[in-house]
């Protein structure tokens, strides 16, 4: 996979994670659903994330059939769609955030909206908007030939998911197909805050590292600084979603800023 | 057609595939997946891939295991009541250009539809995998009832996801599932319809995949579901082919079935895919009419996309968001379709056409009055389509003035087989409302008014 290694140097996500690593800490990745409660709020909250300690920002495209999302994110994206969110607005959001901050901005999307616009066209517009790449919850490398080509063409990161159920063969294949980082699903389940992070997460991260992944970030169920601290001890990055969605829904951009500040206190590794 | 992408299936581009087939080239039967042309595959979260691999492996081994195939045959015979009859519908046929029409009587199976074929097969597969729990989605409740039935028979825990609105409108079917020991969970997310019930079942499956099998109800979804569900329904086409040969001494000129996800149809079609003389027709739900946008004619009007694990034709808007479908028939009210149908449409082996609610209900009434059989409204779409096909075939014969037609004394000797996929007992309230048979102040009238898919 020499191609992957060569392109790693140009990966915006990798650069952000490596910058955190150089500071002796894990990276913080914050998720926001695009257009919730408005496109302007998503941009403002994205900037607040970056200014308060997030290294990467994940913008989710609202989709009619989000099978990997729990109730909180479903409710937010359903509301965004009901208010008339259009997929093309995600590029405005990415541009709005990347023009104001140094954070790497990824788009998290179910695959059909990308298919509909056209994989190449979607990639071109994302790159033009300054986006770092895509996180694809329902696209596995087996079906990703078109995306592999487009992401190479436009220099975008392709973040695939690995799970506690991934076999060693699949783990290797997915790690090799990924660029930027690998998204380790902490538990067998959907998005949503949980009181404790399963012990499976540590095993998944170890397996991904063993399969050759340089950067592995953990998502699903992470909602507070203690959980961030626990994961930061073994992972290269920590992904927080649902808790931020609750924050922006309840307290707007200010609440996102203060939660991000709090979450970032968990990033520094105790042994560092 | 506001916001709806319209594209005719690319029949020309794959012309060579169907030509090769018609010239005795490759067989179209037993397509193993994961791909059917450019359709099918696994557009699924990584978390579920291991479960799909396990399912595929178990299914492949089971197919090759005489003990398993014997178990299926025994259940089909002594539990479901197979083989189902092939009944000639002579009085009904008078309204179809005078062709001979034969009905494949899946309505006579235990639980009243073809659904039992698939649930028994998958429940056995679940047991082979050591799973103790099955989950299922359901629209009006037919697949839910069938799943609860199979789970009760085999001692499996059963949870059925059903749109909250459907639960309210189908309270008797909810009670049926509960009588059979299943738990019914109303789904309140998204549009609260069948597609959201599938989404919720997938979320359950991700979280409980260790002990749970997702008993998907149609020949759609991620590999191996389309090929596996078809396998359990192939018995429909195999029986039909043998029965029509026994009763008429020859193959039919046309075969008709209704298409929602497409499981009854793919089972029926499979028996005739390699018979070039047999024309095959799938009838989609045209709802209020395809020009109104309120329909479920996925192949006729959709564009390829990915939903629920497979690439296939899909009702979607310019953003790739799934469009809600509409049909008087809950069983056809789904914005996707099985991937093998998309392939068969593209290569031109099967013709897919929409049938409106009105056309289906006319055929529904006609079958009741001419044959003493109350069909499921789903199946009434196939009946309405068969009337059109029969009239076309008769017109062709008349134009050609065939000797055989004249000898038959009525201008045509063509034969059409229709899959009567289910019985209409579940649809009596809907039909009574449609035909205005209810007293204006009866509780049934009140209930029927509230929904199009009682």
Q: Which residue bears the tokens 């979603």?
A: A241
Displacement of CA B94 from its chain's centroid (Å): 26
Closest residue in B to A141 (Cα–Cα): B46
pLDDT at A85 > cutoff 80: yes
- Can you give the pLDDT at residue B10? 43
User: What is the mean pLDDT of the segment spanning B371-380?
Assistant: 97
CA-CA-CA-CA torsion for A120, A123, A125, A128, nearest 10 degrees? Answer: -120
Q: B367 pLDDT exceeds 70? A: yes
Mean pLDDT value of segment A236-250 = 97
Q: What is the pLDDT of residue B8?
A: 41
Q: A133 — alpha (psi -120 to 50), left (phi > 0) or beta?
A: left
- Displacement of CA B30 from its chain's centroid (Å): 18
Chain A residues within 8 A of B206 when measuring between CB atoms: 67-68, 188-190
Question: What are the C-alpha distances in Å from B95 to residues B101, B300, B378, B384?
Answer: 10, 26, 19, 10
pLDDT of residue A191: 86
Give the pLDDT confidence of B326-355 residue by residue, as tens digits.
999 988 999 999 999 999 999 999 999 999
Strands of the B39-43 sheet, one edge to the other: B35-36, B39-43, B309-314, B303-307
As a whole-number percent, the residues of chain B with pLDDT over 70 amount to 90
pLDDT, mean of residues A226-246: 96
The count of other CB atoms within 10 Å of the CB of residue A52 is 18
Average pLDDT over residues B60-85: 98
pLDDT at B403 over 70: no
d(CA B285, CA B325): 9
Average pLDDT over residues B365-378: 98
Q: Looking at the predicted structure, is the pLDDT value of residue B11 above 50?
A: no
- Interchain pair A143, B43: CB under 8 A: yes
- Which listed residue (A58, A214, A230, A236) is catalytic? A58
Residue A115 CA to residue A118 CA, distance in Å, equals 5
B203–A contact, CB cutoff 8 A: yes
Tell me which DSSP letter residue B121 carries. H
Is B316–A116 a contact, with Cβ atoms under 8 angstroms apart? yes
Distance separating alpha carbons of residues B205 and B45, to the nearest angstrom: 11
pLDDT at B376 over 50: yes
What average pLDDT does this structure show over A8-37? 94
- The pLDDT confidence band at residue B85, using thresholds 50, 70 and 90, is very high
What are the angstrom distances between the C-alpha of A246 and each of A97, A164, A223?
20, 27, 10
Which is higher by pLDDT, B162 or B2?
A: B162
Q: Check if A69 is active-site.
A: yes
Question: What pLDDT shows up at residue B454?
Answer: 38
3-state secondary structure A12-39: HHHHHHHHHHHCCECEEEEEEECCCCCH
Residue B224: cis peptide before it, omega within 30 degrees of 0 = yes
pLDDT classification of B41: cutoffs 50, 70, 90? very high
Q: What is the pLDDT of residue B405?
A: 53
CB pairs under 8 A between A and B: 115
Q: Is B136 on the interface with A (CB under 8 A)?
A: no
Cβ–Cβ below 8 Å for A114 and B318 = no
pTM of the full predicted structure?
0.93
pLDDT (tens digit per residue) in B242-285 = 999 999 999 999 999 999 999 999 999 999 999 999 999 999 99
Q: Closest partner residue to B322 among A65, A111, A166, by Cβ? A: A65
**A94 closest CA partner among A84, A81, A107, A85:** A107
Write down the pLDDT at residue B448.
Answer: 63
Question: A206 touching B, CB under 8 A?
Answer: no
Please give the pLDDT value at position B12.
44
Q: Is the CB of A112 less than 8 angstroms away from the CB of B308? A: no
Confidence tier at B16 by pLDDT (50, 70, 90): low
B80: which DSSP letter? I
Of the residues B300, B329, B421, B426, only one is catalytic, namely B421
A61, A122 Cβ separation under 8 angstroms: no
- Whether B45 sits inside 8 A of A67 (CB atoms) is yes
Q: Cβ separation of B306 and A65 shorter than 8 Å? A: no
Share of chain A above pLDDT 90, in %: 88
B421 labelled catalytic: yes
Read off the pLDDT band of A75 (50, 70, 90): very high
Per-residue pLDDT, B400? 82
What does the alpha-carbon distance between residue B65 and residue B62 come to, in Å, rounded to a whole number?
A: 5
What pLDDT does residue B449 have? 61
Q: Do A67 and B319 touch (CB under 8 A)?
A: no
Using one digit for the tens of pLDDT, what is the confidence trace for B164-174?
988 887 888 99
Q: Which residue of B has its CA nearest to A113?
A: B320
Are B316 and A112 in contact (CB < 8 Å)?
Answer: yes
Q: What is the pLDDT of residue B440?
A: 77
Lowest-confidence segment of A34-38, A194-198, B180-184 by average pLDDT = A194-198
Mean pLDDT of B63-72: 98
Give tens-digit pLDDT for B206-232.
999 999 999 999 999 999 999 999 999
pLDDT for residue B74: 98
Report residue B325's pLDDT band, with 50, 70 and 90 as the boundaries. Answer: very high
Distance CA B122, CA A158 (A): 36
- The Cα-based distances of A208 to A181, A216, A233, B72, B299 in angstroms read 10, 7, 15, 42, 41
What's the pLDDT at B120?
A: 98
**Which residue among A140, A166, A190 places its CB closest to the CB of B206?**
A190
**pLDDT class of A169 with cuts at 50, 70, 90:** very high
Report chain B residues whose CB lies below 8 A from the CB of A111.
Answer: 43, 306
What ipTM did this prediction achieve? 0.94
Q: From residue B267, give the alpha-carbon distance in Å to each of A205, B118, B200, B233.
A: 44, 10, 27, 4
Q: Output b/e per residue, B367-379; b: 16+ Cβ within 10 A.
A: bbeebebbbbbbb
pLDDT at residue A96 tops 80: yes
Residue A7 has pLDDT above 60, yes or no: no
- Is a pLDDT exceeding 90 seen at residue B377? yes
Q: What is the average pLDDT score of chain A?
A: 94
- Residues A126-145: pLDDT tens digits? 999 999 999 999 999 999 99
pLDDT at res. A78: 96
- pLDDT score for B441: 75
Instruction: Give the whole-number percent of chain A exceeding pLDDT 70.
Output: 96
Whether B13 shows a pLDDT value over 60: the answer reads no
Residue B4 has pLDDT above 90, yes or no: no
Note the pLDDT tens digit of each residue in A26-56.
999 999 999 999 999 999 999 999 999 999 9
Query: Is A271 one of the catalytic residues?
Result: no
Above 80 in pLDDT, residue B116?
yes
CA distances from B40 to B21, B227, B311 (A): 20, 10, 5
């Amino acid at each position: 996979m020499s191609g992957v290694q060569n392109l790693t140097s140009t990966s915006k996500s990798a650069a952000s994670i490596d910058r955190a690593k150089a500071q002796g800490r894990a990276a913080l990745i914050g998720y926001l659903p695009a257009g919730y409660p408005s496109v302007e709020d998503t941009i403002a909250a994205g900037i607040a994330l970056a200014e308060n300690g997030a290294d990467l920002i994940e913008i989710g495209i609202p989709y009619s059939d989000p099978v990997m999302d729990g109730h909180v994110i479903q409710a937010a994206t359903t509301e965004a769609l009901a208010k008339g969110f259009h997929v093309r607005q995600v590029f405005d959001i990415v541009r709005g955030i990347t023009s104001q901050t140094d954070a790497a901005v990824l788009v998290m999307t179910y695959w059909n909206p990308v298919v509909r616009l056209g994989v190449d066209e979607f990639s071109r517009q994302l790159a033009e908007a300054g986006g770092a790449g895509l996180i694809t919850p329902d696209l596995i490398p087996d079906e990703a030939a078109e995306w592999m080509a487009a992401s190479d063409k436009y220099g975008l990161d392709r973040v695939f998911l690995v799970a506690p159920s991934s076999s060693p063969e699949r783990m290797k294949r997915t790690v090799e197909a990924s660029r930027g980082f690998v998204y380790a699903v902490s538990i067998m389940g959907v998005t949503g805050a949980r009181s404790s992070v399963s012990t499976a997460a540590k095993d998944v991260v170890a397996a991904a590292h063993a399969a050759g992944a340089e950067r592995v970030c953990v998502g699903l169920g992470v909602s507070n600084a203690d959980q961030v601290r626990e994961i930061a001890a073994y992972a290269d990055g920590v992904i927080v979603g649902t808790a931020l969605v609750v924050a922006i829904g309840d307290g707007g951009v200010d609440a996102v800023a203060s939660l991000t500040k709090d979450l970032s206190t968990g990033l520094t590794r105790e042994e560092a | 057609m506001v916001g709806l992408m319209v594209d005719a299936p690319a029949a020309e581009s794959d012309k060579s595939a169907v030509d090769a087939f018609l010239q005795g080239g490759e067989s179209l039967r037993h397509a193993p997946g994961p791909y059917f042309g450019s359709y099918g595959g696994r557009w699924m979260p990584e978390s579920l891939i291991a479960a799909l691999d396990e399912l595929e492996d178990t299914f492949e081994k089971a197919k090759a295991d005489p003990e398993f195939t014997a178990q299926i045959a025994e259940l089909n015979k002594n539990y479901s009541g197979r083989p189902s009859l092939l009944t000639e519908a002579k009085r009904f046929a008078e309204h179809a250009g005078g062709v001979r029409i034969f009905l494949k009587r899946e309505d006579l199976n235990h639980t009243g539809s073809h659904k039992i074929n698939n649930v028994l097969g998958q429940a056995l597969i679940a047991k082979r995998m050591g799973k103790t729990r099955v989950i299922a989605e359901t629209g009006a409740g037919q697949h839910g009832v069938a799943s609860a039935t199979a789970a009760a028979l085999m001692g499996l825990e059963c949870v059925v996801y059903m749109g909250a609105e459907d639960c309210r409108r189908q309270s008797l079917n909810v009670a049926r599932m509960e009588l059979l020991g299943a738990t019914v969970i109303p789904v309140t997310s998204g549009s609260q319809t069948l597609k959201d019930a599938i989404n919720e079942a997938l979320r359950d499956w991700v979280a409980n995949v260790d002990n749970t099998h997702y008993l998907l109800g149609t020949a759609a979804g991620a590999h191996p579901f389309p090929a596996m569900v078809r396998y359990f329904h192939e018995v429909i086409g195999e029986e039909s082919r043998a029965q029509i040969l026994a009763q008429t001494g020859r193959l039919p000129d046309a075969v008709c079935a209704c298409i929602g996800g497409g499981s009854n149809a793919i089972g029926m079609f499979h028996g005739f895919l390699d018979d070039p003389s047999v024309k095959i027709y799938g009838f989609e739900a045209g709802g209020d009419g395809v020009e109104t946008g309120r329909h479920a004619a996925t192949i006729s009007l959709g564009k390829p996309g990915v939903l629920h694990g497979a690439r296939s034709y899909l009702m979607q808007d310019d953003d790739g968001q799934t469009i809600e479908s509409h049909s008087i028939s809950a069983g056809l009210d789904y914005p996707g379709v099985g991937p093998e149908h998309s392939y068969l449409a593209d290569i031109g082996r099967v013709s897919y056409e929409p049938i409106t609610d009105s056309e289906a209900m006319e055929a529904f009434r006609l079958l009741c009055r001419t044959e003493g059989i109350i069909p499921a409204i789903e199946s009434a779409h196939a009946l309405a389509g068969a009337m059109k096909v029969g009239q076309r075939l008769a017109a062709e014969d008349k134009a050609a003035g065939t000797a055989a037609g004249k000898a038959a004394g009525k201008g045509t000797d063509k034969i059409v087989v229709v899959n009567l996929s289910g019985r209409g007992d579940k649809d009596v309230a809907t039909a009574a409302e449609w035909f205005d048979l209810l007293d204006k102040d009866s509780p049934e009238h009140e209930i029927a008014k509230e929904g199009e898919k009682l």
